[in-house]
Amino acid sequence: MQTSRTVAVMAVIVGVAWLWPSAPQVTVNIPLPTAPKTAESPAAAEVPPLRAPSLAAAECHTLSAISGMITDGSGTPVAGARIEQDGKTLGATSSDGRFDLTGNFTGTDVRVRAEGYLAWAVAPPWCRTRWEMEVVLRPVSAIRGIVLLEGEPLQGVSIDVINDRDEAVILPATRESGRCHVNHAEFPLTVLAQHPQYGEAEIRMTSGGEVVLELNPDRVLRGMVTDDKGHPVTAFRLEVRTLEMEPVLTVAVNDSVDGTFVVGPLGPDMVLVTATVPGTSLSATLEAEGTTAEDAQGINLVLEDSVVVLGTAVLDTGALVGGAPVRVRGDGNSRDAVTGEDGSFVVMFPRQAAVSLCMGHPDDAGEHCMCVRPEGQDEVRVRLELPRVPAHGAAQLDPCTGQPRRLLHMVQLDFEGDVLTAEALKTLEL
């Protein structure tokens, strides 16, 4: 009977082990059948209770130092990248892309943000006091843009996105909001905005993000050319230059019924407009600026019998003088010009017996003058020699009449301690 009970106990134990394979492995020593225990040996019948192995609790330390390197996909350090946790900025990377932070970093995910890149986030490690990070940021591939005209959104603008292989993505024309977007773009690239009336604007981008493209309306110059009696001139030539005498455009008008003209496009700066009639000495010159208004009042160029003064400015050493101011004056009229890099200048002036030609020294407020007498010529060529040593002042006598010139000297006065200093700025002839 004792043997049958022992076998039954063994069967129960084996069955439990087979039905519960995930249970921890436990070794049980089963005594072999022996003679019944006597009262003299009760300790032999005692079996100690089974206990599961105990796990010692792990001790974790607080993360107190984070450092690392932030780069982009090409390995270039990303400067100014912000390291954030729980919505607070912990620090930023230096110019070499590194950062070193200390504190009590017990919050949630640590995030890295940089302009033009996708945000990066990761949970801080457990049970570590220091953490060295190496983060590679991916550039934002989306572009969000708006096209403005004088600060207001502009519709009807075509947008081209062109990469460095000259592959272009053509976007639909902007709507009333003036906005455009590209979800995936290959950088670097150029965003080009074009409008049939207001010109174009472009911007270079090396990463995604927001972009503002501002168009400036093309300006035109409107006006009329007449003779000294007010009659319209139907055929003439227009030359537009900057105030520094740089050419902007030249237009030949051959069939203007009423003498009117519209030329452009022009920038926002003032320009010098000269009208001439080929084969004659008639000319007119005015300062003007372009306009975008279709009903804007134009300029009126009144042609007069003129003389062209062609000159060259040199030092007494023979060196050409560029950037020197030139003024031609006579009978209440004056014309200004600036010498080019080769020392040359052109001034068109109403015909008269004599005009004074004065040129400022480029290195000083000094001035040198001469008298020009056309004597019936349509063109007068002059060579103006400036002394190597500036005159340190304007010529006091008119070179043609010998009379004192009415000059206005402009100076700047400054106090240096108790001393009053004066710096000559320029001289105007009244």
DSSP string, 22-42: TSPP-----PPP-SPPPTT-G
The answer to whether residues 388 and 312 belong to one domain is yes
Q: Quick one: pLDDT at residue 313?
A: 86
- Residues sharing a CB contact under 8 Å with residue 214, sequence separation 6 or more, in sequence order: 147, 148, 149, 201
What six digits make up the tokens of 261?
């003209």
The answer to whether residues 367 and 307 belong to one domain is yes
Q: What is the pTM of this model?
A: 0.40
In a domain, 49, yes or no: no
- Residues sharing a CB contact under 8 Å with residue 23, sequence separation 6 or more, in sequence order: 17
The answer to whether residues 334 and 354 belong to one domain is yes
- Residues sharing a CB contact under 8 Å with residue 412, sequence separation 6 or more, in sequence order: 422, 423, 425
* Segments of 137-208 assigned E as strands: 143-149, 152-153, 158-163, 168-171, 179-182, 189-195, 199-205
The answer to whether residues 264 and 193 belong to one domain is no
Q: Quick one: pLDDT at residue 56?
A: 38
The answer to whether residues 283 and 225 belong to one domain is yes
The answer to whether residues 260 and 339 belong to one domain is no
In a domain, 31, yes or no: no
Q: Give me the CATH number covering residue 282.
A: 2.60.40.1120
Per this entry, what is the length of the chain? 430
In a domain, 349, yes or no: yes
Of 243, 271, 301, the domain-final residue: 301
In a domain, 410, yes or no: no
The answer to whether residues 327 and 359 belong to one domain is yes
Map residue 10 onto helix, strand or coil.
helix
Mean pLDDT per 10-residue segment, the chain (430 residues): 46 43 43 46 40 43 88 90 91 95 85 86 85 88 88 91 87 91 85 84 88 85 90 91 83 88 83 86 84 79 86 84 83 77 83 82 68 83 74 61 63 67 56
Nearest in space to 200 (alpha carbons), one of 188, 215, 221, 222: 215
In a domain, 93, yes or no: yes
Of 136, 169, 184, the domain-final residue: 136
Q: Quick one: pLDDT at residue 187?
A: 85
Q: Domain limits at 170?
A: 143-215
The answer to whether residues 290 and 332 belong to one domain is no
Number of structural domains (the chain) is 4
The answer to whether residues 336 and 384 belong to one domain is yes
The answer to whether residues 239 and 282 belong to one domain is yes
The answer to whether residues 372 and 385 belong to one domain is yes
Of 284, 301, 318, the domain-final residue: 301
In a domain, 430, yes or no: no
In a domain, 197, yes or no: yes
Q: Quick one: pLDDT at residue 237?
A: 92
Q: Where are the alpha helices (DSSP H) in 133-220?
A: none
Q: Quick one: pLDDT at residue 141?
A: 82
The answer to whether residues 320 and 247 belong to one domain is no
In a domain, 211, yes or no: yes
